[in-house]
Chain A
Amino acid sequence: MSALEFVNVSKSFRDVNALSNFTIALEQGELVSLLGPSGCGKTTALRIAAGFETADTGAILLGSTNIISLPAHQRRMGMVFQSYSLFPHLNIRDNVAFGLKVRGVPGDARKKRAEEMLDLVRLSDLGHRMPHQISGGQQQRVALARALATEPHVLLLDEPLSALDAKIRVEVRDEIRRLNRDLGVTTMFVTHDQDEAMSISDRICVMNNGVIEQTGSPRDVYNNPATSFVAHFVGSINSLPRGNTRVLIRPENLVLATHDESAHWRGTITDTTFVGAFTKISLVLDNDNSSVSVLAISTQIDNNIAIGKSIGINEATR
């Protein structure tokens, strides 16, 4: 039995289909990302699970119970938002304890539990501070502690890292993964950032225009994309001519040709970007006009690699 299951959930706003026959099952303790561009329906799916939006059709199963008509405050879903959403008038400890207070947990037990949760996100010394007195990353960790304090059935995360700086983002991301593993809490993570989804998820559900394009492990989604959309959205990819068709090849699977005559494709370099471990070379194919990116390891780079020069590329043998 799954921890959380969407069965044929559909939702439209006016004429726009935000979600069509959305079906997915989350196993107990699993972390599943909903990944897709803006307007793909991922946030709608999450908000339907939380009870903030009503689905037009379909069922949401929590264990074996259909909760689709249960109001949000009776669902016991822990939710974390992009915009921190700590209550500005309560200090950090009272924020974490809010859900317990609402559920009628007595004062002492509530305080103890709040301290435990703050300890869990390593912020136990900030309990007396007000939300505006701590940083964005800390606020988001408090929001996690608050959502987890009531032992929710499922943790729902709506772009929780999007408002954070790059470095803090990685810290909070790792924190989310650690909490998910340590507490075994089933987690649904909404993001438009493929790197985030790849690094945190057990499974990724790639969405576009309200439908699921592919669900699978990060490795699966990256290496065996089910549709052209998935191939293009997750990682970068080149579309190269081969005979009468086109093949999709990731930049890291292309190599520079050592001998001119053996090159499968030839093109003119339009740009090179040095990234440290590798250099990204952009070129336009001679006969095709399509632009292609190649990732070349620095040992491969010689004086012939410069803007305007002609080079040959091949598919790497795996």
Chain B
Amino acid sequence: MKFLGKIWSRLYIAIAIVFFVAPLLSMARFAFQRIPMISLGKDNLFKRWTIDGLLTTLRDPEFLHSLSVSLKVAFFTVLVILFLMVPTTLWVHLSAPRWRGVVETVTILPYVVPPIALVVGVSGTYRSIAPWFLASNYSLVPFYAILAMPFTFRSLDVGIKALDLRTLVDAAKSLGASSGRVMWNILLPNLRTSLINAAFLTFTVVLGEFTIASLLLKRTLPMYMAQAQGSEPQGALGLGLLILVLTTILFTLVSIIRKKDSTSINVKNINVGMVP
């Protein structure tokens, strides 16, 4: 039985690898082999590899422009969402635990309201009262902040739950720290992992978002890639692969940081029991 089990588990892993790796390999062959797609086969697996297509795309000023738009929008979205969600989540935990359910429900709104409804509703309103708002690339920021709410709230919520927040705040105050000081010197350092997680997830959401950008006609990276698939398909797919590799590396880095943090902050040792 044990032997059979081992075989099964190996088989599952093999299937999973084929499932995930096969499309990536096909993508790589299409993007980086200068052979017409119709004649790609197992005989020419190692022939005529080149990154020319990718390089052409990377040199395209359109690409650089869309990348810079996406990065700027992502950066400001991270700022906005942290600025909104950090105080809200702390407030819910410290002073208004009864409101936690409400806040949580509000944060999952982007799952309930489809992006198309959101854009149509918001743009309809702004076109009549402040048309300049939708003209700017940064009009994407509030939309993306809404999309990032669920990840951000959950990430912060989990981080805060692992701390004995009330007591840490009280301890710091009794030692003479003002509210601002408590925030900077106690809360933010202890929520570092949550903040990094939240920021990173927000960043990836923004870099991958297509629907809203397309509805609002903004030249973001996903928009560029969708368009380039028509004009320069090899380059566009190569770019897709490159982004995949880069995000994987980033994810690994984040999880390394997370591991380091979770060994330095041992949740088990934080006693939350209180006898009034």
Q: Is the A/B pair a real complex?
A: yes
Chain A residues close to B by CB (< 8 Å): 38-39, 43-44, 50-52, 71-79, 81-85, 87-89, 98-99, 102-103, 130-132, 136, 139, 143, 146-147, 150, 156, 159, 162-163, 192
- In the docked arrangement, what's the CA distance between A1 and B191, Å? 45
Q: Does B129 contact A (CB under 8 A)?
A: no
Query: Is B271 in contact with A99, judged by CB distance below 8 angstroms?
Result: no
B265 touching A132 by the CB < 8 A rule?
yes
For chain B, residues 245 to 276, give those with C-beta under 8 angstroms from any C-beta of chain A: 264-266, 268-276
The answer to whether A38 touches B276 (Cβ under 8 A) is yes
- In this complex, what residue of B is CB-closest to A192? B275
CB–CB B170/A52 < 8 A: yes
Q: Within the assembled complex, what's the spacing in Å between the Cα atoms of A147 and B172?
A: 10
Complex Cα–Cα for A83 and B272 (A):
6
Chain B nearest CB, measured from A243 CB (Å):
41
Q: In the complex where A87-B186, A88-B163 touch, is A99 in contact with B176 (Cβ < 8 A)?
A: yes
Q: Who on chain A is nearest to B276 by CB? A: A43
Complex interface: chain B residues within 8 A of A76 (CB): 176
Contacts of A77 in B (CB 8 A): 174
Q: Which residues of B contact A143 (CB under 8 A)?
A: 171
Determine if B270 and A79 form an interchain contact, defined as CB atoms under 8 angstroms apart: no
Residue B97 CB within 8 A of the other chain: no
Partner of B271, one of A38, A87, A98, A163: A163
Contact pick for A132, options B172, B264, B274, CB 8 Å:
B264
B178–A85 touching, CB < 8 Å: no
Shortest C-beta distance, A107 to chain B (Å), equals 15
User: Residues of B at under 8 Å CB distance from A?
Assistant: 163-164, 167-168, 170-178, 181, 185-186, 189-190, 192, 264-266, 268-276
Would you give 16 A-B contacts (Cβ < 8 Å), ordered by A?
A43-B275, A73-B174, A74-B176, A75-B174, A82-B271, A83-B164, A98-B175, A99-B176, A102-B176, A102-B181, A132-B268, A136-B269, A150-B176, A159-B275, A162-B273, A163-B271
Question: Which chain B residues lie closer than 8 Å to A102 at the CB level?
Answer: 175-177, 181, 185
Best-surrounded residue of B167, B173, B268, B275 (most CB of chain A within 10 A): B275
Could you say which of B190, B192, B274 has the most chain A C-beta atoms within 10 Å of its C-beta? B274
Q: Known interface pairs A89-B189, A130-B264, A132-B266. Does A83 touch B271 (Cβ–Cβ under 8 Å)?
A: yes
- Taking the closest CB of chain B, its distance from the CB of A101, in whole angstroms, is 8
B265/A89 in contact, CB under 8 A: yes
- How far apart are A36's CB and chain B's nearest CB, in angstroms? 11
Q: Which residues of A contact B171 (CB under 8 A)?
A: 79, 81, 85, 87, 143
Q: Is the CB of A50 within 8 A of B170?
A: yes
The listed residue (B173, B190, B270) touching A51 by CB distance below 8 A is B173
B172/A98 in contact, CB under 8 A:
yes
Decide if A82 touches B176 in the complex (CB within 8 Å). Answer: no
Further 6 A-B residue pairs, CB within 8 A, beyond A79-B171, A85-B164, A99-B175: A38-B275, A44-B276, A88-B264, A88-B265, A88-B270, A102-B176
| Chain A minimum-CB-distance residue to B190 | A89
Interface centre among B264, B274, B276 (most CB of A within 10 A): B276
Query: How many angstroms between the C-alpha atoms of A130 and B189 in the bound complex?
Result: 14
Q: Per a CB cutoff under 8 Å, which of B168, B266, B268 touches A85? A: B168
CB of B110, distance to nearest CB on chain A (Å):
32
Is B176 within 8 A of A103, CB to CB? Answer: yes
Residues from chain A with Cβ under 8 Å of B185 in the complex:
98, 102
Tell me if A83 and B173 are in contact (CB < 8 A): no
In the complex, A75→B177 CA distance in Å? 11
- Could you tell me the distance between the alpha carbons of A81 and B168 in the complex, rounded to whole angstroms? 10
Q: How far is the CB of A195 from chain B (nearest CB, A)?
A: 16
Contact of A82 among B173, B265, B268, B275 (CB under 8 A): B275
Q: Which residues of chain A are within 8 angstroms of B269 by Cβ–Cβ distance?
A: 84, 131-132, 136, 139
Which residues of the other chain, B, contact A43 by a CB distance below 8 angstroms? 275-276
A79 close to B264 (CB less than 8 A): no
In the complex the two chains form, what is the Cα distance from A89 to B264 in whole Å?
Answer: 8
